């Protein structure tokens, strides 16, 4: 059975310890639901971006946890 895990990084790509310790997820949906619930705490704890892995295979990333802020800035500048 595959294990889905997140890698937590700074904006520069350096791995950091997450503010909220994740479990190992058995589905991609569970992993994504978890990041959806905890992204703000993770961001406040020093994580800028995440990568999703299925076992040792990177599925996608880096995905910024600052996306909403960036969108707000674009709206303000526009």
The predicted-structure confidence for 33-45, as pLDDT tens digits, reads as follows: 999 999 999 999 9
The whole-number average pLDDT for the span 17-43 is 95
Q: For the chain, which residues make up each domain, given as ranges?
A: 4-77
Q: How many helices (H) and strands (E) does the chain have?
A: 2, 3
Read off the pTM.
0.82
Question: What is residue 78's predicted lDDT score, i.e. its pLDDT?
Answer: 59
Burial of 19 (0-12, 13-18, 19+ CB in 10 A): middle
Burial of 61 (0-12, 13-18, 19+ CB in 10 A): middle
């Amino acid at each position: 059975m595959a294990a889905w895990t997140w890698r937590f990084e700074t904006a520069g790509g350096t791995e950091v310890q997450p503010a909220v310790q994740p479990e190992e997820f058995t589905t991609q949906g569970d992993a994504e639901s978890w990041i959806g619930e905890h992204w703000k705490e993770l961001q406040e704890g020093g994580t800028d971006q995440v990568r999703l892995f299925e076992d040792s295979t990177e599925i996608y990333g880096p995905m910024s946890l600052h996306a909403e802020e960036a969108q707000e800035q674009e709206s303000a500048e526009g």
